[in-house]
Amino acid sequence: MRLAVLALAVCSIPAFGQYSIQHDGDVVRLVDSAAKVTVSVVPSFGNVAIGMTVNGENILRFPFASLDDFKKSPTLCGIPLLAPWGNRLDHQGFYANGKAYNFNMELGNVKGAIPIHGFLTYSTDWKLVEAKADKQAAWVTSRLEVWRQPSSMAQWPFAHAIVITHRLQKGILEVRTRIENLSTEPMPVAIGFHPYFQLTDSPRDEWTISVGARTEWPVASGMPTGVTRPIEQMFPDPKSVPLKDYSLDNVFGDLIRDASGFATMTVKGKKQQLDVSFGPNFHSAVVFAPNRNRQPAAGAGRGAAAPGAAAGDAGRGPGGQQAAAGDAGRGPGGQQAAAGDAGRGPGGPQAAPGGAGRGAPAGPAQNQSYICFEPMSGITNALNLAQKGVYKELQSIPAGGTWQESFFVKPSGF
């Protein structure tokens, strides 16, 4: 289905050769006409990328008929930010700099006995910084000043701002994140992203994946146990994993890097392929691909209790300086940074085939046709496992300092 056409007129910024910007209501589209790629971003609502079409095929799951429907009942889809932490914490609080911080559950922005995915995913406080195109790329940059919101500071008492640039170049989408620590103490970094990818030339159970990691962090009750195991104990051949054989919600570390420091995860269909490359400051990866007809893979995390609850993934939702204009950035394998794609309608992309729930998993059910390769700055529960001395790779931003990293989405075969 197509997103409903919004009543607002589309405003196009003059094109520079193959690249252009389109504004349509709340949606900003980045267009690469030569690569036939369009990326749709909604800066005003979570700064979520809700669509990336490649030669007319949407590669991001967006199970809504309209942008308004998404805003009324948001669930994780597209490319959402998870902040100020990603995935689960083992209690209603966290440690930072050796101090314990407990959440104020009465504020309502953090929910559940086991809080998950932070509280900024659907923030409406993002401000558009710029949306431009030149002869090299098209990009949109937005900024979230977290320190301005008392309820956010009450839960995460580190004054900071987040700047995200979605950049489309040579048919590749770069998502670049910059965090500015404006507080007087070091700020831990525990953010991540939860991109929902799909192929359109074959169903999920015909896809194969490649996971660029050496180790897995097995979990119990959704939390890493503190030990790791070689990835081959889970996937005999991590470079060619038949997705039909697995229900995945697993945490991976010790990522395999190329000469430029990028780690790549891949999903392949009949001809279509997506390569998702994580920059060096994304230390961990979560792979989420529920299979209604199989139990979760040994060591699986968040979905372990309910493999049939994949529809919409609704239960997993959360309760600086401007990027240089025209900066080509970095890309995996030394390539220039690339950017993304826009949706099919003024409000965004065509809904993913099978993107909405397909019914109860009674008998051999059809699976949700998506896979999430999640770039994470640290493993699940990194904040609290670091305090226990279990996790050694927790990153921190010094007072007045910044953290920056990118991941890239490269489609082929469309």
Give me the pLDDT at residue 294, please.
Answer: 75
DSSP bridge partners of 287:
250, 373
Domains of the chain in start order, with CATH, are 10-412 (2.70.98.10)
What residue spans of 285-408 are helical by DSSP H?
Answer: 382-387
Higher per-residue confidence, 108 vs 360: 108
pLDDT in tens, 275-331: 999 999 999 999 999 997 777 776 665 433 333 333 334 344 444 333 333 344 445
pLDDT at res. 296 = 72
First to last CA, the chain: 20
Write down the pLDDT at residue 340.
Answer: 35
Q: What is the predicted pLDDT for the residue at 3?
A: 41
Cα–Cα distance measured from residue 38 to residue 50, given in angstroms and rounded to the nearest whole number: 11
Q: What is the DSSP letter of 226?
A: S
Provide the percentage of residues in the chain whose pLDDT is more than 70: 79
> What are the angstrom distances between the C-alpha of 345 and each of 25, 145, 173?
12, 30, 19
Condensed to tens digits (0 to 9), the pLDDT of residues 226-245 reads 999 999 999 999 999 999 99
User: Please, what is the average pLDDT of the chain?
Assistant: 85
Mean pLDDT value of segment 110-122: 96
- Mean predicted confidence (pLDDT) in 387-398: 97
- State the pLDDT at residue 385: 97
**pLDDT confidence bin for 364, thresholds 50/70/90:** very low
Q: Containing H/E element for 11?
A: strand 10-16
Phi, psi of 394 (to 5 degrees): -65, 130
Tens digits of residue pLDDT in 10-59: 565 555 689 999 999 999 999 999 999 999 999 999 999 999 999 999 99
Instruction: Decide: 351 and 64 in contact? Cβ < 8 Å.
Output: yes
Q: What is the pTM of this model?
A: 0.84
SS3 assignment, position 123: coil
3-state secondary structure (DSSP) of residue 147:
helix
Q: Are 372 and 250 in contact (CB under 8 A)?
A: no
246 has pLDDT over 90: yes
Pairing of strands 160-169, 172-181: antiparallel
Q: What pLDDT, on a 0 to 100 scale, did the predictor assign at position 368?
A: 75
